[in-house]
Structure 1
Amino acid sequence: MNITHTELDLRERGAIEDMLNAKGPVTRIAAEIGRHRSTVYREIKRNYFDDDELPYMNGYYGMIAQREASGQHTRRRKLIRLEELRAYVIAQLTISWTPEQIADPLAYNDLSDRVIHETIYAYVYSAESQSE
Structure 2
Amino acid sequence: MPLCYSQLTLSDRRRLHQLVERKVPVGEIARQLGRHRSTIYRELKRNTFHDAEFPEYSGYYSGIANDISKERRRRLRKLSRHPQLRELVIEQLKALWSPEQIAGRLLADGVSAVRVCTETIYRFIYGKEDCALELF
TM-score interval, normalised by the smaller of the two chains: 0.7 to 0.9
- Output the CA distance in 2 between the equivalents of 1:66 and 1:123: 23
One-letter code aligned to 2:101: Q
Structure 1 spans left out of the alignment, 5+ residues: none
- Output the CA distance in 2 between the equivalents of 1:40 and 1:33: 9
Aligned to 1:117: 118
One-letter code aligned to 1:67: D
Give the share of equivalent positions with the same residue, in percent.
Answer: 43
Q: Give the CA deviation at 1:95.
A: 2.1
Counterpart mapping for 1:8-27 below 5 A: 8-27=8-27
One-letter code aligned to 2:78: K
Aligned to 1:64: 64
Structure 1 length-normalised TM? 0.82
TM-align CA RMSD: 2.3
Q: Give the CA deviation at 1:59.
A: 1.5
Structure 2 length-normalised TM? 0.80
Q: Give the CA deviation at 1:4.
A: 4.0
- Output the CA distance in 2 between the equivalents of 1:76 and 1:50: 22
Q: Give the CA deviation at 1:79.
A: 0.7
CA offsets, 1:89-119, max 9 Å, x none?
A: 1121232222221111465442122212221
Contact kept? 1:13, 1:66, Cα under 8 Å? yes
